[in-house]
């Protein structure tokens, strides 16, 4: 069987367009897997700066010197592997793949074997393309160390926020979601999130105290980019309060936001949750041997496997997050048609009809 030598890749141009370019398929080095991609998922916050930002670029273009390939989460079928470490996969295996620079929006991807997991029979390629963002949400959950029965607010109901809220509920937490875009709050409620508050329309503090029956929050997750100082100030008023007047709880920052840390925030733990778990960006692990399971139970790989199992068992709903499915071959016209209503875009899947 002859392997492909060229591929098509979606690329950002800097003027609000996403175009398709042709480039060589990367070499298949030891420990890597060549995948014929069937679907990929756009991560708008990290990849585009948000759909609003992409729409704004059309009015004020800032062209890049050359189109920039992007994407880091896709799913497809294994065509070939290289080296003994990657021999865990065979030609024809259905897999989900992640990794910046690897799992691009493309028709052929070369990915380190530890950044690939088998897709359960019940999981479609479009569902499998949620692998990176689902594992990111899973790692945020682990960083937050929730206890059964706690109350949590997820601020920012984009893709990662929606998935994080679902996982907190699966972990036995009561979850309220906050977002400034009413459509995202509607989606969250349809997906079974306990309650929502639309920032700018609702009183988040009143809604959150009512949701927690006056007890206050145990935890919160910040799942958005930009300045979060106002959000943190508002959240602080929603946390549990000790008899001496101190607020108590945990804030996990999974988005790219920043904020001022007020001196009065004496008993709120601030935790960053970056990436998908241990192993990501450790090239020796990505291409080579696993970490000992007894020493490191939850790695990027085991987080990915768990997420795929939850999707297969219909305990983690990703279908309700997919608002648009576009052919990769028509990506430029397809994305341009969406940008008239950027606030009604959530999950965008690019399909390759090979």
pLDDT single digits (tens) 25-83: 999 999 999 999 999 999 999 999 899 999 998 888 887 778 999 999 999 999 999 99
Residue 135 inside a domain? The answer is: no
Residue 1 inside a domain? The answer is: no
- Helix then strand then coil, in percent of the chain rounded to 5, is 30, 30, 40
Pairwise CA distance, residues 350 & 54, whole Å: 17
69: domain CATH number is: 3.90.180.10
Q: What pLDDT is attached to residue 353?
A: 77
User: Which residue, of 233, 256, 272, is where some domain finishes?
Assistant: 272
User: Which residue, of 254, 272, 290, is where some domain finishes?
Assistant: 272
Shared-domain flag, residues 144 and 175 = yes
The residue segments making up the domain with residue 186 are 140-272
Residue 118 inside a domain? The answer is: yes
Cβ within 8 Å of residue 55, ≥6 positions away: 16, 339, 340, 342
pLDDT tens digits in sequence order for the chain, 354 residues long: 689 999 999 999 989 899 999 999 999 999 999 999 999 999 999 999 899 999 998 888 887 778 999 999 999 999 999 999 999 999 999 999 999 999 999 999 999 999 999 999 999 999 999 999 999 999 999 999 999 999 999 999 999 999 999 999 999 999 999 999 999 999 999 999 999 999 999 999 999 999 999 999 999 999 999 999 999 999 999 999 989 888 999 999 998 899 987 777 678 999 999 889 999 999 999 999 999 888 889 999 999 999 999 999 999 999 999 999 999 999 999 999 999 999 999 999 999 976
Residue 334 inside a domain? The answer is: yes
Q: What pLDDT is attached to residue 61?
A: 84
Residue 54 inside a domain? The answer is: yes
Q: What pLDDT is attached to residue 84?
A: 96
246: domain CATH number is: 3.40.50.720
Shared-domain flag, residues 160 and 125 = no
Shared-domain flag, residues 78 and 180 = no
Q: How many structural domains are present in the chain?
A: 2
Interaxial angle between packed helices 300-312 and 131-144, expressed in degrees from 0 to 180 and rounded to the nearest 10: 110
Shared-domain flag, residues 149 and 266 = yes
Shared-domain flag, residues 268 and 290 = no
User: Which residue, of 238, 257, 272, is where some domain finishes?
Assistant: 272
Residue 70 inside a domain? The answer is: yes
Shared-domain flag, residues 57 and 148 = no
Shared-domain flag, residues 12 and 114 = yes
State if pTM tops 0.85: yes
Three-state SS at 185: helix
Shared-domain flag, residues 183 and 264 = yes
Hey, CA dihedral for 123, 127, 132, 134, is it positive or negative? negative
Shared-domain flag, residues 117 and 84 = yes
Cβ within 8 Å of residue 92, ≥6 positions away: 77, 78
Shared-domain flag, residues 288 and 313 = yes
Shared-domain flag, residues 195 and 302 = no
Shared-domain flag, residues 189 and 282 = no
Q: What pLDDT is attached to residue 354?
A: 64
Q: Which residue has the tokens 């943190």?
A: 232
Residue 209 inside a domain? The answer is: yes
Q: What pLDDT is attached to residue 273?
A: 94
Q: What pLDDT is attached to residue 260?
A: 86
Specify the DSSP element, H or E, that contains 53: helix 51-59
């Amino acid at each position: 069987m002859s392997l492909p030598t060229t591929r098509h890749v979606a690329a950002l141009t800097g003027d609000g367009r996403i175009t398709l370019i042709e480039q060589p398929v990367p070499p298949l080095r030891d420990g890597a897997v060549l995948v014929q991609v069937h679907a990929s998922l756009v991560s708008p916050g990290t990849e585009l700066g948000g759909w609003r930002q992409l729409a704004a670029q059309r009015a004020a273009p800032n062209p890049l010197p050359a189109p920039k390939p992007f994407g880091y989460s896709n799913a497809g079928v294994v065509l070939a592997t290289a080296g003994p470490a990657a021999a865990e996969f065979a030609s024809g295996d259905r897999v989900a793949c992640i990794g910046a620079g690897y799992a691009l929006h493309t028709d052929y991807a070369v990915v380190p074997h530890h950044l690939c997991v088998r897709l359960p029979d019940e999981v479609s390629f479009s569902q499998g393309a949620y692998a990176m963002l689902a594992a990111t949400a899973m790692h945020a959950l682990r960083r937050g160390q929730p206890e059964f029965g706690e109350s949590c607010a997820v601020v920012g109901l984009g893709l990662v926020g929606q998935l994080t809220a679902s996982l907190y509920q699966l972990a036995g937490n009561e979850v309220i979601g906050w977002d400034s875009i009413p459509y995202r709050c509607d989606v969250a409620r349809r997906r079974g999130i306990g309650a929502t508050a639309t920032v700018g329309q609702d009183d988040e503090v009143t809604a959150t105290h009512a949701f927690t029956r006056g007890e206050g929050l145990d935890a919160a997750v910040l799942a958005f980019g930009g300045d979060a100082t106002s959000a943190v100030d508002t959240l602080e008023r929603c946390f549990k309060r000790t008899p001496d007047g101190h607020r108590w709880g945990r804030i996990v920052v999974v988005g790219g936001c920043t904020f001022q840390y007020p001196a009065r925030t004496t008993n709120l733990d601030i935790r960053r949750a970056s990436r998908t778990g241990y192993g990501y960006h450790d090239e020796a692990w990505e291409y080579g041997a696993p970490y000992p399971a007894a020493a490191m139970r939850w790695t990027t790989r085991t987080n990915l496997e768990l997420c795929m199992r939850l999707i297969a068992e219909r305990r983690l709903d990703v279908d309700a997050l997919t608002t648009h499915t576009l052919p990769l071959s028509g990506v430029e016209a397809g994305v341009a048609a969406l940008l008239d209503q950027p606030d009604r875009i959530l999950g965008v899947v690019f399909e390759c009809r090979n």
